[in-house]
Amino acid sequence: MGRNLTRKLIDSHLVAGKPVAGEEIGLAIDQILLTDTNGNMSLLQFEAMGLPRIVPRRAVAYIDHNVYQFDSRNTDDHRYMQTAARRYGAVFSKPGNGICHQVHMETFSVPGQTLLGSDSHTPLCGAAGMLAIGAGSLDVAVAMGGGPYFTTMPSIVRIWLTGALQPWVTAKDVILELLRRLTVRGGTGKIFEYAGPGLASLLAAQRMTIANMGAELGLTTSVFPSDDVTRSFLTRLGREQDWQPASPDDDATYDDQIELDLSALTPLIALPGSPDRVVPVEEVAGTPIEQVMVGSCTNGSWHDMASVTEILRGRRIHPSISFVLFPGSHRILETMSSEGLLTDLLRAGATVSEPTCGSCAGIGHVPAAGTKSLRAFNRNFPGRSGVKGDEVYLCSSTVAAASALTGVITDPRTLGGAPSGVTLPLRFADSAVGFVEPDGLGEVVRGPNIKAVPIGEPVAETLEAPVVIKLGDKVSTDDISPAGAAVLMFRSNMPAISEFTFKYVDPEFVARARAAGRGIIVGGELYGQGSSREVAAIAPMYLGVRAVIAKSFARIHRANLINWGVVPLVLDDAAAHDGIERDDRLRLEDLRASLAGDGRVTILNTRTGALFRASCVVTPREREILIAGGLLALTRERQA
């Protein structure tokens, strides 16, 4: 029986467990990706564990979110990351060098290798035939020290592509169609592996868009084969020596299959609130907008920039529209300059930003209150743009460019005539000016905004505590710890960033949690979806939260809770959620003993007298971490 590509990648890196769906496996990691919003914590945690040097063959620390350095607290983080990267063995990518996923794909992707990143969109590099997975900062820190990355073995689903994309239809419409069909829950516990006759028609940049935004489906990762398309991409970057083929066996088997006819797709758009609220663009055509954005790690490629330029060339942006483009890397921006794209864009009235995550994470270009923003980005969770009550639509670069011309959401097919198609440069700019190689020298510099990493406490024998907040379904890590410039500058300062916890959901949460001393959060389905930001687990822990009871958890957030000693409990009967109110005092009898046993916990609501059950199903490794109060607490215990 033949093996699929994902199994080949897993088998070649398997160091613990059996690759059977639902079982825990440990994977050796070849490459590490760190960002300035989560990777700074990875470095602090790496130091807290007393590790001397980064072990994997390649580690890169990127400054891509807080590029604008609004004040010294941003630059504190950047100086710390640069000096720590130099000392411990990571390449440092300077501010303005580009968005981590785009830059890593261009510069460091190697088919057949594993990549672990401190950002949920790390799977973008699956477009190059890598096994690329996003994880919490502490899991990344362990891998930096040479430890395996542990995860539950996913089921492997083949996405069978036929046909070819029609004019005005893009790779963004492919992933939006999958979100429309499957919702943000549809990829939980799965890896999507793309195959079929339609695959050859997708450029590397288009594959990157699909693999990147698979995170919004809840996937562990997405995998594309390394084929002639991959080889052409690496050759244009001057990296043909890094190419090697990677493909499934002809008789490979899969756990499931989804069929998708590329030629049947039409331009799609996600309505405000969630990436899976997808409808055909014609359903909302004519909706007035004031802001249009193209970029992020999902749509910042050369292909996106060139597609926009083709539509805007010789035309003018509508007077009511602010249109901003974020190229994904310095290499792309330099190539845009040498190929003449910048002149056409500037003459059309577009603003071209430096390569940065920027407004995707609510940093800069925050929309005006009460207005609608159209974005070729990846997420539109409420408030993510930096203002409460925002209305952000997600679309492709072609829909965005067409709408920038008209001032309203526009189906690009109404512009008339088919686009001539994007021409790839024979060679992209050979840009390496933004990288600093490590030499193992120098002192690690910590400014006043760099604070010590907090340590969790062992699980109590019995936990009795109030419900400090009750939430509904699909609570994102943006809801728990908001994005935006005012918050992200504190990613290395847990006392300060904890003050923003649930800020836009419940402004009184922090005061209530502090007054309680110990608290419990109650949530609905898919609690903790979205970004991998570990602070969404650490900050509640720092404020005294000791358990989260929910209908279900997002993969990375559940792992983060365990790593910080917060007990993630899944309701045996989801209906029990309805009988719990905020401020109810819950008693989790024999919690520690239950976790040491089968993980089934009996919970008493002292207000109503109701008894209900919840389960924390963990592996032996996770159990030891959780009971000790988290991975850092366990590490210190062992060292003592």
- Ordered by start, the domain boundaries in the chain are 5-264, 268-412, 463-639
Residue 446 scores a pLDDT above 80: yes
Condensed to tens digits (0 to 9), the pLDDT of residues 77-93 reads 899 999 999 999 999 99
- pLDDT at residue 431, rounded to an integer: 81
Model confidence at 488: pLDDT above 80 = no
CATH topology of domain 463-639: Aconitase; domain 4 (3.20.19)
Token pair, residue 517, equals 């001393």
Q: Mean pLDDT check: name the lowest of 35-44, 413-422, 470-479.
A: 413-422
Kindly state the tokens that stand for 65. Answer: 């979110």
Given this model, what pLDDT does residue 358 score?
A: 83
> HSE (CB half, 13 Å, CA atoms) of 625?
22
pLDDT band at 483 (very low <50, low <70, confident <90, very high): confident
Distance from C-alpha of 374 to C-alpha of 404, rounded to nearest angstrom: 9
In percent, the amount of the chain with pLDDT more than 70 equals 100
Closest CA to 492 of 81, 9, 62: 81
The tokens describing 145, both together, are 């020290």
Average pLDDT, the chain: 95
> What is the mean pLDDT of the segment spanning 602-606?
98
pLDDT computed for residue 640 by the predictor: 65
Using a 10 angstrom Cβ sphere, with 0-12 exposed, 13-18 middle and 19 or more buried, the burial of residue 394 is buried
Whether CATH 3.40.190.10 fits 5-264? no
Whether residue 69 is predicted with pLDDT greater than 80 in this model: the reply is no
Q: Is 321 helix (H, G, I), strand (E, B) or coil?
A: coil
For domain 268-412, give the CATH number.
3.30.499.10
* Sequence-ordered list of residues with C-beta below 8 angstroms from that of 258, at least 6 positions apart, any chain: 157, 158, 159, 160, 178, 181, 192
Q: Which residues contact 212 (CB under 8 A, 6 or more apart)?
A: 101, 121, 123, 124, 127, 297, 298, 378
In the chain the first and final C-alpha atoms are separated, in Å, by: 49
Comparing 158-167, 382-391, 562-571, which segment has the lowest mean pLDDT?
Answer: 382-391
Tell me whether the CATH fold assigned to 5-264 matches the one assigned to 268-412.
yes
Give the Cα separation of 354 and 96 in Å (integer).
Answer: 6
Q: Is the pLDDT assigned to residue 30 strictly greater than 70? A: yes
Residue 637 to residue 640: CA distance in whole angstroms: 5
Is 62 in contact with 94 (CB distance < 8 Å)?
Answer: no
Distance CA 387, CA 375 (A): 15
Residue 517 CA, distance from chain mean position: 31
pLDDT digits (tens, 9 = 90+) for 539-560: 999 999 999 999 999 999 999 9
Give the per-residue pLDDT at 50: 87
Q: Which residues have a Cβ under 8 Å from the Cβ of 505 and sit 6 or more positions away?
A: 469, 471, 475, 479
Distances (CA, A) of 327 to 224, 386, 397, 576: 23, 21, 12, 47
418: pLDDT strictly greater than 90: no
Each residue's pLDDT tens digit, 307-322: 999 999 999 999 999 9
Q: Does residue 216 sit in helix, strand or coil?
A: helix
Q: Are 282 and 411 in contact (CB under 8 A)?
A: yes
Beta bridge partners of residue 24, listed in sequence order: 152
pLDDT beyond 90 at 70: no
Q: Residue 298 corresponds to which tokens in the numbers above?
A: 């999902």
- DSSP lists the bridge partners of residue 162 as 261
Q: Are 609 and 490 in contact (CB under 8 A)?
A: no
Q: How far apart are alpha carbons 342 and 639 in whole angstroms?
A: 56
454, exposed or middle or buried, with CB in 10 Å at 0-12, 13-18, 19+? middle
Q: 639 pLDDT exceeds 80? A: no
Residue 531: what pLDDT? 85
Taking the C-alpha atoms of residue 100 and residue 328, their distance in angstroms, rounded to an integer, is 8
Burial code of 41-68, b = ≥16 C-beta within 10 A, e = fewer? bbbbbbbbbebeebbbebbbbbbbbbbe
Q: What is the pLDDT of residue 379?
A: 93
Instruction: Please answer whether residues 204 and 109 qualify as being in contact, where contact means their C-beta atoms are separated by less than 8 angstroms.
Output: no
pLDDT at 362 over 90: no
Mean pLDDT, residues 80-109 taken together: 97
Question: Mapping DSSP to helix (H, G, I), strand (E, B) and coil, where does residue 479 land?
Answer: helix
For the stretch 193-213, pLDDT in tens is 999 999 999 999 999 999 999
